[in-house]
A = this chain, B = another copy of it.
Amino acid sequence: MPVNHSIHHRAGLDEVACRETLIRRYQHVRKFTERLCQPLLTEDYVIQAMPDVSPPKWHLAHTSWFFETFILAPASPGYRSPHPSYAYLFNSYYVAAGERHCRPKRGLLSRPPVEEVYRYRDCVDQHMTAFLDSLDGEKLERWSPVVELGLHHEQQHQELLLTDLKYNFGCNPLRPAYVKSDMPMPAPAVAPLRWTEFPEAIYWIGHGGHGFAFDNESPRHRCFVEPFELASRLITNGEYLAFISDGGYERPELWLSMGWDTVQREGWQAPLYWERCDGNWWMMTLGGMRPVREAEPVCHVSYYEADAFARWADARLPTEAEWEVAAMNLPVSGNFVEQQTFHPVPISRNDTALSVEQIYGDVWEWTQSHYSPYPGYIAAPGALGEYNGKFMANQFVLRGGSCATSLSHIRPTYRNFFPADARWQFTGIRLARTSGPA
């Protein structure tokens, strides 16, 4: 749920400009979802290779259902859904919005066909555009935050669409590619990891200014942070290979207890998508199979693996407060989905201008913080209050966005969260350590 700063306050624009901006942004985000689907065949829209992922078709319909349910139905008098049964099929987890199809069975539905889902999107878009066009005054103020929420919601599903697709393709013995992969240039050697110090202080954490933010980023509050150091860049495949070579996956003393259990049960020996072929490590990417390149940030590791790596490296993962302290004054730029690399990239030479690099984009960075409410947090009433708050148990916070995230979707205060064993997102490792006494 967004905090209550509607878009037209942000920029101080007048109502007309505000409405037009909203419409343009609506059209841009919605189109981008479809653009991401262009390389897909009809068959690719249907499947779901594990319960955590959803078929592309489902993402396309669910995001449309979101606008229909939370805007058109309550706000647009006389709107009738062309497919009332979709409320059951395409509700994800909003209990207050009614019964829903069970998640692990999303891939068992061949109908509605893809074509009909696109027609459904069109229908919702037409109604939404008309609705947005009609907004003014109090209604604009009332509904634009919900539209914003719907668009950020759709951007989250754009990222999932890519990671889910990667997982689906990764389970296919044919290892299909989503995009044509250029043979990348040899990467330059990566500079040694440096440590940047941050002093102890009471810091303000969380979202407090203008612009959109999810409810879990609020309230802005104070936090005492002991002095710490943060690694200057992400951990690379090369560094992670050293961990593997040093028996990282065979040494229980490096692991959390639940992590070690998971390693044993799942037989993990490397990050997700890595495969050993003829003595070399290869990896599945959205561009298909290719050799693991040492200079790239390591990716598709679970919290357990990130934590074990950190322990092996005599360091630890940062807390989310530490991460935010380091990130709050850095420019929000990096390797986002707009770059269309669809994979984390090696740090480039001219990135070394900042004390802390790669903080945005490339990979979501695991923090050691469990996902908990900020002091004074209150979830919104109704179904939209289920957006974030009800997941505050047994998840860890990740920060900074990835190569599958939209630049316009990320902020320094953004809190992503996943269970400790999740690996199918673009998740990586940044180290921290507690400063010793001088």
Query: B-contacting residues of A (Cβ < 8 Å)?
Result: 41-49, 57, 85, 88-89, 93, 95-96, 101, 105, 107-114, 168, 171-174, 176, 200, 202, 221-224, 226, 228, 252-253, 255-260, 303-304, 307, 316, 319, 368-370, 372-373, 375-376, 385-386, 390-394, 396, 420, 434
- CB < 8 Å: which of B95, B200, B224, B304 contacts A253? B95
Query: Number of copies of this chain in the oligomer?
Result: 4
Q: Please determine whether B222 and A224 come into contact, CB atoms closer than 8 angstroms.
A: yes
In the bound complex, residues from chain B placing their C-beta under 8 Å from that of A43 are: 42-43, 45-46, 57, 110-111, 113-114
Q: Complex: how many Å from CA A390 to CA B171?
A: 29
List the B side residues contacting A253 at CB < 8 Å. Answer: 95-96, 385-386
A-B CB contact pairs (8 Å), 6 listed: A43-B43, A46-B47, A95-B260, A110-B176, A257-B386, A394-B394
Q: Are A390 and B255 in contact (CB under 8 A)?
A: yes
Judge whether A420 and B391 touch: CB under 8 Å: no
Contact of A47 among B42, B109, B375, B434 (CB under 8 A): B109
Are A101 and B42 in touch, CB under 8 angstroms? no
**Contact yes or no, B226 A376, CB < 8 A:** yes
Residue of B nearest to A396 (CB): B393
Q: Contacts A43-B111, A168-B108, A373-B368; is A390 near B49 (CB within 8 Å)? A: no
Which chain B residue lies CB-closest to A370? B370
Query: Closest approach, in angstroms, between the C-beta of A368 and any C-beta of chain B?
Result: 7
Q: Please name 13 further chain A to chain B contacts, defined as beta carbons within 8 Å, in addition to the given A42-B42, A95-B253, sorted by A numbering.
A: A41-B111, A43-B111, A101-B173, A108-B168, A109-B171, A111-B172, A112-B174, A202-B202, A256-B391, A319-B375, A393-B396, A393-B420, A394-B394
Which 10 pairs across A and B sit closest by C-beta, in order of nearness?
A370-B370, A224-B224, A43-B110, A95-B252, A394-B394, A257-B390, A44-B110, A42-B42, A226-B375, A376-B434
* CB neighbours of A316 from chain B (8 A): 373
CB distance from A155 to the nearest CB of B (A): 22
Chain B contacts of A88 at CB under 8 A?
A: 173
- A108-B49 CB under 8 A given contacts A93-B257, A256-B390, A393-B258: yes
Main secondary structure on A side of the interface with B = mixed
C-alpha gap A257/B95 in the complex (Å): 10
Q: A46-B47, A258-B394 are in contact. Are A223 and B224 (CB under 8 A)?
A: yes
Return chain B residues, CB-CB under 8 Å to A257: 93, 386, 390-391, 393
Residue of B nearest to A165 (CB): B110
Verify B85–A173 contact, CB threshold 8 A: yes
Q: How far is the CA of A93 from the CA of B253 in the complex (A)?
A: 12
Closest chain B CB from A59 CB (angstroms): 15
Flag if B252 contacts A224 (CB, 8 Å).
Answer: no
Check B394 against A108 for contact (C-beta < 8 Å): no
Residues of chain B within 8 A of A109, CB atoms compared: 47, 171-172, 174
Do A176 and B221 touch (CB < 8 A)?
no
Once the chains bind, are A420 and B394 in contact (CB under 8 Å)? yes
Q: Nearest chain B CB to A420's CB is how many angstroms away?
A: 5
Please determine whether A375 and B41 come into contact, CB atoms closer than 8 angstroms: no
Contacts of A57 in B (CB 8 A): 43
CA distance A105 to B88 in the complex (A): 26
In the complex, what distance in Å separates the CA atom of A223 from the CA atom of B226? 9
From B172, B226, B392, A108 is in contact (CB under 8 Å) with B172
Partner of A369, one of B111, B256, B372: B372
Residues of B within 8 A of A375 (CB): 226, 228, 319, 434
Beyond A224-B202, A420-B393, whether A111 also contacts B376 by CB under 8 A is no
- Given A41-B113, A110-B47, A226-B222, A372-B373 contact (CB < 8 Å): no
Closest CB-CB distance, A169 to chain B, in whole Å?
8
Q: How far apart are the CA atoms of A112 and B303 in the complex, in Å?
A: 34
